[in-house]
Copies of this chain bind each other. A is one copy, B any other.
Amino acid sequence: MKSIYWGIDVGGTGIKLGAFLKDGSLLLKREVQTDLTDHGRRILPDISRIIRSMAEEQGWDWAQMAGAGIGIPGPVRRDGYVERCVNLGWMGFNPQKELSELLHIPVTAGNDANMAAMGEYWQGGGKGYRSLMLITLGTGVGAGIVLDGGHILYGAKGLGGEIGHTVICPEEPLRCTCGHYGCLDQMASATGIVRNAHRFLEKDARLSVLREIPEFSCRDVLDAAKDGDPVAEETVRYCLGFLGKSIAYASYIVDPEVFILGGGVSNAGKYMLNIVKDAYQANAQLADTFAEIRLARLGSEAGMIGCAGAAVVQNP
């Protein structure tokens, strides 16, 4: 009986692999380094070899393998084709097809943010909801959308959910890496929060614990804000205000049941959640149509778990 699903989250530095049952229970997992040599051509053969040896160690018959999902740090088309994945060195090929040929099982490929959204939908903060949008606030702002029945919104060009580079603060004087000014990425990411804290500190001479931390991190800013530091608080409210606005936009376009917040910034928990909720509700129209906003639960394993979840949806 085919009962084992593999989740494979490929990052620029490491690959997370896990074997799951259909109900989401994790049987075993492993983490290996990503071999980027030879334009990333060794990545898929490596994955195939590791998965086979993991299965062999457990004494699993290969006939039990129901499918696999693979997440990639870049845009993936619905048919699995990757035009370009800078982080892995890949250009114009189809990892879904190639990995399926290597493993002799069905494989479904997707963007890592979409796979993470699928993970939170299947086993995390969105479990029990019919549709969700996951927004991860880390170095940048990533996002993924899962619609009714576990369908990932890929988008025609693999941009589904990519709100990080929507211009949300046109008066921002600094240019974003994308070439525009005032992207959500510049404001609500961990990087954006640190950058804006420096700006608020330079504006006047107010006392702030941040002035005593030489190279403060986003976590320092969030901790200081929680403790009532006025500059840190102002920064966090300012930055997360733009996220609330973006969520309001997205709620009128995609209208998911719940928004899930993940990534490093979301470690500030209920404190940040309440700020985002307030900002969202101030920018949304009718109270009886407010979507829920909740915290992510799966941390850095959301992608791996979501890859297995996507495999379950493809091969139930």
Q: Measuring CB to CB, which residues of chain A are less than 8 angstroms from any residue of chain B?
A: 78, 130-131, 145, 147-148, 153-163, 165-167, 178-180, 245, 248-257, 283, 285-286, 289, 291
Contact = CB atoms under 8 A, between A and B. Distances in A.
Contacts of A180: 283, 285
B255 A254 contact: no
Nearest to A161: B253
Given A78-B148, A249-B166, A249-B249, A255 B285 contact: no
Name A's interface SS: loop
Contacts of A78: 148
Nearest to A83: B288
A255 B155 contact: yes
20 contacts: A78-B148, A155-B255, A155-B256, A156-B255, A156-B257, A159-B289, A160-B253, A160-B255, A162-B252, A163-B252, A163-B253, A166-B249, A166-B252, A166-B253, A167-B245, A178-B285, A180-B283, A180-B285, A253-B253, A253-B254
Contacts of A154: 255
Contacts of A166: 248-249, 252-253
A179 B285 contact: yes
Nearest to A162: B252
Given A153-B147, A178-B285, A179-B285, A165 B131 contact: no
A148 B160 CA distance: 13
Contacts of A148: 78
Contact of A251 (B159, B167, B245): B159
A4 B163 CA distance: 42
Contacts of A256: 155-156
Contact of A255 (B159, B167, B178, B283): B159
Contacts of A167: 245, 248, 283
A254 B156 CA distance: 8
- Report, nearest first, the 9 A-B pairs whose CB atoms are least far apart: A155-B255, A159-B255, A156-B257, A178-B285, A157-B289, A165-B285, A162-B252, A166-B249, A160-B255
Nearest to A184: B252
Contacts of A163: 249, 252-253
